[in-house]
Structure 1
Amino acid sequence: MSFKQEFLSASLNANALRFGSFTLKSGRQSPYFFNMGLFSTASTLGSLATAYASAIIDSGLEFDVIFGPAYKGIPLAAITVVKLYEIGGDKYKNVGYSFNRKEKKDHGEGGSIVGESLKGKKVLIIDDVMTAGTAINEAFEIIKAEEGEVTGVMIALDRKEVPNGVVGKCATKAVSERYGVPVKSIVDFDDIVALLGDKFTAEQKASIEEYGAKYVS
């Protein structure tokens, strides 16, 4: 079983990936919903870490530090560096992780960054999903201010949707073109259709195909 299949299976078992009718923040009615917050136990977090680490190794991206934007990205960065070393070996033994504070601290270690320094480092940003790309844009600015170099972005799910009011380009493509770095994912919309298609009812399949034709780039 591929890491993509294992991740989708784990997502279904954790009830993090559901099918039905859901209203997204954008107001769209979606035939599926992904809530990574439901990866909240030792076993599910282990599956999540394995999926991220496997996707990162498969991507061939080069980096010194994994940066997790506050707040969702913080545990993702931490569990992923551990799993990278566990399954990837010595190549990843010195990979650091860091995250930003929402409010800058002026005592103790101070500053807005916790963990590994980003200065002069190649940085991989990790997050859950990308809708409009706002959080990722902020992460780029933070890393630039710390004199780091972003070499890629890894997310769990790429819905590949074109945001409301935008013509023809999904958020991941827009971010990749804007900053000139690859944006990778564990799975994307096409993987859901291809790998879970035999589990859909006829109604679910029709809804997903219609949604894809309307919103997915």
Structure 2
Amino acid sequence: MPSSPTVSAASRARLADIIFARSFGYGKITLASGKESNFYFDMKPTMLDPEGASLIAHHLFAAIADAGADYVGGLEMGAVPITGGVCQLSFEMGKPIRGFFVRKQAKGHGAKKLVEGLTKTESLSGKKIIIVEDVTTSGESAYKAIESCREAGADVILVVSLVDRQDGAEEFFLSKNVPFKSLYQASEFLSRS
């Protein structure tokens, strides 16, 4: 099996084209942070596009493969398809990384867990984890996942976002001593319009 996925400037440009065509738009919206904006990223059409999903998995895996993570995951809903793609690719590349996701609220029935995807015998305690996110604005949403993982005993070693809206997340994570990187920045898409 190959040891790492192939990522190139051409595949990065192709993923940017898909994001621009399927997930970027203009229009007045209210962000999860409560701020209003005149542009948006709805990453679901890209994450659920066959080529988009494959490129996302390859680029994210390339960004995290050598970080030494035991688990990758993040806050529902945006992190769920990303996590699945990265987990599958990590296995195919011979560097398996398990996945999980954090619910915004614990289920009112069943096991009533906040962190999902682990068996009864698995735990995040003592594990190195990477939080993934589709779009990062202020960083607060990803930080909810970080707090839940830390409460479970995990060591959060990195946050990786597909797109950073450049609305303060980088500074926020710096203030929290959490390494942060993104595959793209909003300015890359705004400059196309």
Per the shorter chain, which TM-score range?
Answer: 0.7 to 0.9
Structure 2: segments with no counterpart, 5+ residues: 1-7
State the TM-score, normalizing by the size of structure 1.
0.70
Contact 2:127/2:155 (8 A) holds in 1 = yes
Change (3 A) 1:144 1:41: same
Tell me which of 7, 16, 30 is aligned to 2:23: 16
State the TM-score, normalizing by the size of structure 2.
0.78
Find the counterpart in structure 2 of residue 211 from structure 1: none
Contact 1:68/1:75 (8 A) holds in 2 = no
Find the counterpart in structure 2 of residue 34 from structure 1: 41
Percent identity of equivalent pairs = 19
Secondary structure at the aligned position of 1:63 is classed as: coil
Change (3 A) 1:7 1:43: closer
Tell me which of 173, 176, 183 is aligned to 2:174: 176
Q: CA deviation at 1:71?
A: 2.0
Aligned residue type for 2:106: E
Which structure's residues are more often helix, by fraction? 1
Aligned residue type for 2:182: S
- Per-residue displacement from partner, 1:85-119 (whole Å, max 9, x unpaired)? 33xx33x22x1111123324664x66332224211
Contact 2:106/2:113 (8 A) holds in 1 = no
Secondary structure at the aligned position of 2:73 is classed as: strand
Instruction: Give the greater-gyration-radius structure (CA).
Output: 1
Matched, 1:186 2:183: yes
Q: In structure 2, how many angstroms separate the alpha carbons of the residues matched to 1:112 and 1:187?
A: 29
Structure 1: segments with no counterpart, 5+ residues: 162-169, 205-217
Contact 1:130/1:172 (8 A) holds in 2 = no
Q: CA deviation at 1:61?
A: 2.7
Find the counterpart in structure 2 of residue 111 from structure 1: 113
Secondary structure at the aligned position of 2:76 is classed as: coil
Secondary structure at the aligned position of 1:62 is classed as: coil
